[in-house]
Amino acid sequence: MKKIHLKLGVLTLVTAGLIGTVSCSSDDHNYLTKVDIEIPGPEGPEEPSEGAEKATIKVEIVSVEEESVTFKLATTHAEKVHYLIEKKGVEVTVDQVKEQGVVVEDATAEQVAEGLEPEQEYVLYALAINKEDVITFDAKGVSFTTKKALDISLIISDVDATHERVIFTITPTGAVKMRYMVVEKSAMEGREMTAEEVMEEGFSIIKVDGPSTLKPKVTKPNTEYIIYVAGISASDTHLIVQEEVKTKDESEAPVDEELKVMTQMNFVGDEVGHTVAYDLYMSNDQWDVQFVVAAAQADEDILKEGRYIRNASQGLGRPGADEVGKSFQIKNKQTGDLDTDIDYGEIRIAKTSATAYKVEVDMVRKTDVTKRFKAVFEGVPVKGYPRP
């Protein structure tokens, strides 16, 4: 309501439909006074009274994905907050936001809106209402564009660790090439790893058409690591995903089985494409053990020193350079039983003199990663297949 002020003579009487006039002598005075009359104003929301602060609201976009957006709201003096997301170019009114929008339960938390379309321009409108139902609304809104739909997906799962290894499964969709890195978390403070870095510096993941379980060795127990996996699709789209893991304490180290000391070793080398594959035959009174390792730029007749790795995800067939082949044999000669419970590990070959070697086998079990198959040969290996 608005107030207007009229000046009226004290001897003038205003009545409904009747005006009366009273004559006065020349000694009388016409005094003026103010009378407040309230008349109705135009309809609409009232301005807040002096005791009610007007609400404020600010929207900050945190991140945008293919089908979702994450944003923050900063408000003051707001009793209620609503938001509405519409495609760019669609006219939106304050009434639509209030009636059709999402009612925010906790304006201090990050908000996530899902169900959007990839590669689409949107505008986010938000309003705040103070305790007297006065609305604050920015009709321009905040614009954003969702990401292009990716033709590649990478999922890291089943993350675990021992005191010296991290263990994880990677499940790709649409990848034509993948690599991974495991980096100490402390080394990544203040920076972000990129897909390009992993694809350039990481280790290859051979299998791209299904899940692979990897168990790479790390250097420190009781330490936080970040697993990075990057992949490239057929359209050259790059993607990187990550998970964190902490290695166990040394007190939780695997319990090794009894070390099997081998008394004889034979080897045979076979060169194909500048890579020599060595068949290693080790034996004693109880065991016959056979593994295959491969070395680049090597001599068929001379064992090449080095560390040869067997990965859980490695394919069958001839191993690549510095690898241990998937095919192996561990036979108990006394019982005739074959040991097939080998998942991953390594073989180390080192010279101890001009002709003598030390060959160490250290393999981790599939059924229990806390247990190992370990064997060692120290002596002069014999070139040629073992005698029948």
pLDDT at 276 over 50: yes
Task: Find which of 33-37, 141-145, 207-211, 214-218 is predicted with most confidence, using mean pLDDT.
Answer: 141-145
In tens, the pLDDT along 13-27 reads: 333 443 344 444 444
Q: Give 153-252's CATH code, choosing from 2.20.130.20, 2.60.120.260, 3.10.20.90, 3.30.450.20.
A: 2.20.130.20
Check residue 388 and give its pLDDT. Answer: 55
CB 362 within 8 A of CB 372: yes
Check residue 123 and give its pLDDT. Answer: 98
Mean pLDDT across the stretch 257-277?
92
Using a cut of 0.85, tell me whether the model's pTM lies above it: no
CB 126 within 8 A of CB 81: yes
Check residue 26 and give its pLDDT. Answer: 41
pLDDT at 130 over 50: yes
pLDDT at 38 over 90: no
Check residue 112 and give its pLDDT. Answer: 97
Check residue 316 and give its pLDDT. Answer: 82
The residues spanned by each domain of the chain are 2-39, 56-145, 153-252, 255-383
Check residue 387 and give its pLDDT. Answer: 63
User: What sign does the CA torsion over 91, 95, 101, 103 have?
Assistant: positive
CATH T-level topology, domain 56-145: Immunoglobulin-like (2.60.40)
Check residue 370 and give its pLDDT. Answer: 72
